[in-house]
Structures are given as C-alpha cells and as structure tokens.
Amino acid sequence: MHYCNVLDTYSIKKPNPKQTLCFQSQAFFLDAFLHNNRVEHFTQLIGLHPEYLDLFLKTQHFIMRGDGPLPYAYRHYIAIMAAARHHCTYLIDLQKQEFLLQGGNASWLLSLENIPQKLKNLLEVNKILAHRPWLLNKSHIERLVKAKGKDNWSVSELAHAIVILAHFHSLCSFIYGAGIMPEVDQEKGHTFTSPRELHHPLNGATPTVGSTDRGEVEELVEKMQKIEKQHRQQQEPSMEELVSTFKKVESQCAELPAGQCRARPTLRAELHRFLEDPEFAYQDFAKRKEPTEIPTFRIQDYSWDDHGFSLANRLYNDVGTLLDQKFKTAYDLTYYTMGVKSNVDTSMFRRAIWNYIQCLYGIRHDDYDYKEVNDLIERSLKNHIKTVCCYPDRTTKKDYESVMRDFRHSEKIHVNLMLLEARMQAELLYALRAMMHYMT
C-alpha cells in the first residue's frame, strides 16, 4: 500500500521568494533531526505545510519527551499499543526503537504477558478509543483510577496516556492515507527520489487532469458559489431540518462499504505481541446496538472549545493549548487554491470534510447543515475518508489515486491532515467527556 514519494529535503537549490515555504520546512526538518536523529517520512510529507508541521512537531515532542506524568518508556510503549490497533508496523518499529533508547524493558516487546498490570489495564481503553470511542464511559475511567496499589492510574497520567493513544491512532490514518514508505532502516524500507511536482512554490503538485470535460474542481467551486448564494437568499433551516439532514448523512455513512468489504491484511505474527482482541473493529455508529443508551454526541452539549480544551489543560498542563493550535491550523489552513484555480475560498469544503469525518464517529455539529456534505463531497471521496479513518490498514493505492484527481498533491495531503485532526479531536471529546463524568 505504500505509494507516495516525499520531498527530498536535502536538494533545495538557491533561494528565491517562491521557495519560502520550502525553507520553512527545511528548518523544521533540521529541528526534527536534532531531536530524533532522523527525519521520518511522514514528517517530510507533512512538511508540505510548514505552519502545521511546526505545531505537529511541538505537540509530538511535548507528549513524548516533554514534562508530563508518565515515564518515557511508558509513553513509547503506549504509542506501540495504539499503532498495533491498526496494524501499523511502520510506527510500531519506530516506537520500539525509541522505547529501548529510553531504557524500556526489552521483554515487554515479546508479549503482553510481560508488561506491568497497569499497562494491561489500559488495553480496553485503547481498543475502544481506536475503533468505537462512543462506547467509552466513566466506568472505564473509574476502573483505571481505582485499581489496586501501584496499578492505579492518576487522572493526570490517564489524560497523558489518552492523548498519546489518540495521537497515534490518528497518525496511523495519516500514514496509511498518504501511503508513507518504510524508513531506510526498516524492513522493505528505502530512500526516495524527489518528484519534481513537489517543488511547486505552494508545495503542491501539478493536478491530474480528470476524465471528464469539466474538472471536479470547477464543479466544486460552482457548487460552493451556489450554496453561498442560497445562504444569502434563503431563510436559515430549522433545528428539525438540521437534525433530519444529519440523520440522512449518518445513515448514508453506514451504507458505504468502504474498507469493511475488503479482507483485512494478514496479521503479522509480531503484532500479536501488542494486541488484545484483534477482531474488535469499527462499527458504523448508526448501527450501534443501543441507540437509546448511546445518543448522538452533540457539540452543543460538549465541545472542544467550551469544555475539552480547558479540561485537557487542567489534567495535563499546556497540552490543551498545543492541541487547540494544531486543530485550528489544520482546519483553517489554506493557500486559496483548488487545483489550477486560485483566489478560492475553501472554507466551505474544509468544513464539510471536517464535519463528515466526525459524523463517522457519531458527532453532530448543531449549527451545520449536513446537506452541504452531500453537495460538496462526492461518493468516492466519502469512501476514501471512511476507509482511512475507520479501516486505515485496508487503504489501497487505488483509493488515493482515484480521489481528488484534479487537486494538487499538497491539497490531498491537507485533506489527510484534516482526517488526522478531526479524528483525534473526536476521540478526545469522547474520552474527556467520560473523564468529566467520572470527576463530577
């Protein structure tokens, strides 16, 4: 499934004004190298968007190497546990190296039987967060916090662990969605040649011409202009109408087969060392067994801005601020381009992508008309989003190549970054709400 080449960071030529973004990325790559003794392929690819890369690296460094309640070896083992849920051996191999460098017990890498009971107790939360975060409730928090003796988790330790889990679950989606290659020192790893299109001044690629006479970008821009005109001319839809359109999109989500119709890749033997209940997987929220007991998550009742941000900062000092900046940068990021078109307001498309991702996890934005999701996101892109978010290890090269064919490479990567962030925020909203319920 590995198919995307990335920016050759060491072949930048003489400076000119159009290369500003490339030089910003190069500075961040140098910083990453000083911290990690390597510039991982996913870091290079994220470098297509230097403003976001800066915050991504700061956040990852903070949760893995900065001040925090968890020992460093624990942090890297938790990252391994998270990546194992999606069979992401690329991340597992990287984190195994870091785990050992931080003095981790090598026997932990052989079997779950060898890890401390405290970490074993986290396996259930890891499993739920990765695949069905709406099932997480205060009883899961209580069992961890009230475990006996040295096996119990403090709420600050648990908050730290949950942020690491959500970060690496979501990073798995980006790894698979963008087709990251193994590192040169990993099995089947190799270096890259630099594709010429990645040196575009906006860190973009030459769009692929679609098979239709009228490109998808042109049609999308016209649809956004039509919706904007309707906003000005028509009355705001009622709450009943907003709920109805959400339910329609939610049921359509469940009808999309996406990755679930594909055979899951054969589980590599070493993955069993880090997995409990490997058959547990995503289930469409609309098909949950107890819809009355697990209602739709309404952002009006518990939002990141009004609730999650402050609780995250309270439980794990400063992490909420870093996450907030990262979420907003991924959401707001724009160069005002779509494919070959310039001076385009992309906000409507970005919002549709973000809200559709969170719809997959049962989250409804109360003030949003989900009719725009169906107007702006065509079926193949919906399929791709669902596969990358919910069944990332079943993503194929064809998935990546068949969507957004008229868009720049950097724009497709931006969509993958929104997949990462919107998914991570969804996991954190469920987890922080459960922690709030336990604490109150």
> 3-state class of 174 per DSSP?
helix
* Closest C-alpha among 417, 437, 435, 340 to residue 175: 417
Q: Beta strand 363-364 with 337-338: parallel, antiparallel or unpaired?
A: unpaired
Which of 88, 172, 253, 389 is catalytic? The answer is: 88
> 3-state class of 298 per DSSP?
strand
Q: d(Cα 328, Cα 325) in Å, to the nearest integer?
A: 5
Q: d(Cα 126, Cα 109) in Å, to the nearest integer?
A: 17
> 3-state class of 48 per DSSP?
coil
Q: d(Cα 45, Cα 43) in Å, to the nearest integer?
A: 5
CB neighbour list of residue 64: distance below 8 Å, 6 or more residues apart: 72, 75, 76, 79, 98, 164
**Which residues pair with residue 338 across a beta bridge?**
341
Q: Give catalytic status of residue 261 as yes or no.
A: no
Q: How far is CA 393 from the centre of its chain?
A: 13
> 3-state class of 153 per DSSP?
coil
Q: d(Cα 117, Cα 107) in Å, to the nearest integer?
A: 14
**Catalytic center residues:** 88
